[in-house]
Amino acid sequence: MKIAILGGTFNPIHIGHLALADDVCITFGYDRMLFIPAFCPPHKEMNDAESGDDRFAMTELACNMDGRFKADDCELKRGGVSYTYDTVCFLEKKYASDLEGKIGLVMGQDLAAEFYKWYRADELAEKTDIILARRPPVFADGSMKAFENKPSGAYTGKPATENDMREFPFPHVLLRNPLLPVSSTDIRARIAGNESWQYLVPAPVYRYIRERRLYGYAE
């Protein structure tokens, strides 16, 4: 079984995440895409984040819509800083009897420029098949500032470009995925501001957010 992983805060998971996973599976022939919510991402400080239980529940609801997708809570259970290297090592053992080839590591172009700062980046690049995906430009206005995640530690969070992807020094493949202008930050801001957001997330996730009144949702 060919396995790829897509990590993130999934705060909340949205249609852009699912479209990206679908594109990776179809383009590169992966049988399983593992969605892995981070407990504590090393490169950013989560802002306005719901609990790990809620983020995992929403991710699981979204993954249940497609037999190729599966939510994995290994980083939430492990606690501490969610280093991708540790996650890959864990998954290699977990799926040792089924795994075909290296695990595919899906990354957005916004992370490419600073991948060298990741924990054990060289070893991680050797262990995985890196897939770099395009990210749409973000046009944030002042109303979204309170909902944005902030870079953490040595990470600058500077905007990445197509050139960053082309000059990425580690072995990788580029994904020409469609650029869907949707982000978790925008969704959180829309929910809190009582703006339209229903069709930016999978239907089960929409119902979950409403029922749990997450992100400041109010009738």
pLDDT higher than threshold 80 for residue 140: no
Look at strands 103-108 and 128-133 and give their pairing: parallel
pLDDT, mean over the chain: 89
Predicted confidence band at 136 (pLDDT cuts at 50, 70, 90)? confident
For 81-133, how does the pLDDT look when each residue is reduced to its tens digit (9 = 90+)? 999 999 999 999 999 999 999 999 999 988 888 899 999 999 999 999 999 99
Predicted confidence band at 147 (pLDDT cuts at 50, 70, 90)? very low
Q: Domains of the chain by range and CATH? A: 3-214 (3.40.50.620)
**106: phi then psi, degrees, rounded to nearest 5:** -90, 125
d(CA 169, CA 203): 39
Look at strands 69-71 and 103-108 and give their pairing: unpaired
- Judged by phi (left if over 0) then psi (alpha if -120 to 50, else beta), residue 101 lies in left
What does 18-66 look like in DSSP terms, one character per residue? HHHHHHHHHHHT-SEEEEEE-SS-TTEE-SSPPPHHHHHHHHHHHHTT-
Question: Which pTM value belongs to this model?
Answer: 0.88
